[in-house]
């Protein structure tokens, strides 16, 4: 039985004071949650603040990105070891905004996944197609290539990596994939993992949906057999909203 994972990606939002206030309002709302793993991914500047604020709770800390080298002359970058030192257990890798806006490709995503695993971080690997790729019937081909390149040659244990399917056309647009489309792609990802590794690892890997997920639509996604949680963007910025979605997960499946 796969535990649900609800991850909040704050993107480039919230100052440190706002992060503290969020934690103060959010943690009491989820204190009784037992069936859902919760991860908050704030900007780098708030990692230490949130690590302190989340201490003693079951809410885990994640980062939104990392660099693949351990240390060195890489101005502006943050290493996996630095993330662990800041209290992180998870890291988002290959988010569509980094792929589409900042030019991150499959080769770089692979290097980041490999380093994260070596360092003990659990990657949330993001995959997904653009609207044009979907309209050209290339969605599964694109996702397959992203998955194969990201994990090429890597040895995985169950639970090492979560995969988040986030169709690019649904990120921050208010448009989400239908629950059937999301389930179809998440099942496809699970089948791909079985081909790359084995059916046991595929069956244990958590596959999330991300793309304009909100409190009023998350339930229909979590009801799908191959969707094991959500990677939530804008709706994770409000404590009540994120707590409501965690609550749906607590009562799902």
What is the gyration radius of the CA atoms in the chain, in angstroms?
17
Q: How many residues does the chain have?
A: 253
Residue ranges, the chain, pLDDT below 50:
none
Alpha-carbon span 36 to 73, nearest angstrom: 39
**Quick check: is 104 catalytic?**
no
Position 95 scores a pLDDT of: 96
**According to DSSP H, which parts of the chain are helical?**
16-30, 47-54, 80-85, 96-100, 106-119, 131-135, 139-151, 179-196, 199-204, 218-222, 239-250
Q: Is-contact 10 237, C-beta < 8 A?
A: yes
* Per-residue model confidence as pLDDT tens digits over 106-151: 999 999 999 999 999 999 999 999 988 988 999 999 999 999 999 9
**Quick check: is 166 catalytic?**
yes
Q: Is-contact 250 206, C-beta < 8 A?
A: no
* Per-residue model confidence as pLDDT tens digits over 184-196: 999 999 999 999 9
Assign residue 246 a region: left if phi > 0, alpha if psi is -120 to 50, beta otherwise? alpha
Catalytic residue among 95, 104, 129, 133: 95
Alpha-carbon span 2 to 157, nearest angstrom: 14
pTM of this structure: 0.96
Helix axes 106-119, 139-151, angle to 10 degrees: 40
Catalytic residue among 21, 166, 184, 200: 166
Q: Domains, the chain, ranges and CATH? A: 4-250 (3.20.20.70)
């Amino acid at each position: 039985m796969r535990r649900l994972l609800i991850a909040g990606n704050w993107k480039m939002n919230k100052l440190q004071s706002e992060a503290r206030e969020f934690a103060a309002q959010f943690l009491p709302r989820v204190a009784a949650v037992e069936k859902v793993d919760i991860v908050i991914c704030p900007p780098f500047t708030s990692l230490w603040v949130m690590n302190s604020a989340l201490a003693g709770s079951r809410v885990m800390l994640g980062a939104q990105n990392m660099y693949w080298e351990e240390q060195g002359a890489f101005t502006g970058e943050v290493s996996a070891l630095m993330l662990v030192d800041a209290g992180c257990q998870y890291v988002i890798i290959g988010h569509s905004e980094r792929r589409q806006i900042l030019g991150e490709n499959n080769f770089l995503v692979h290097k980041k996944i490999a380093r994260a695993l070596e360092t003990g971080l659990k990657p949330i690997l993001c995959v997904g197609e653009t609207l044009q790729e979907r309209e050209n019937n290339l969605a599964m081909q694109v996702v397959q290539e992203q998955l194969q390149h990201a994990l090429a040659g890597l040895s995985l244990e169950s639970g090492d990596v979560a995969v988040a399917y986030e169709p690019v056309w649904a990120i921050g647009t208010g448009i989400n994939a239908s629950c059937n489309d999301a389930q179809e792609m998440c099942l496809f990802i699970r089948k791909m993992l079985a081909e790359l590794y084995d059916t046991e690892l595929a069956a244990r890997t958590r596959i999330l949906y991300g793309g304009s997920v909100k409190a009023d639509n998350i339930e229909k996604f979590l009801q799908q057999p191959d969707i094991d949680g959500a990677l939530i963007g804008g709706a994770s910025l409000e404590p009540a909203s994120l707590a409501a979605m965690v609550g749906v997960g607590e009562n799902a499946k």
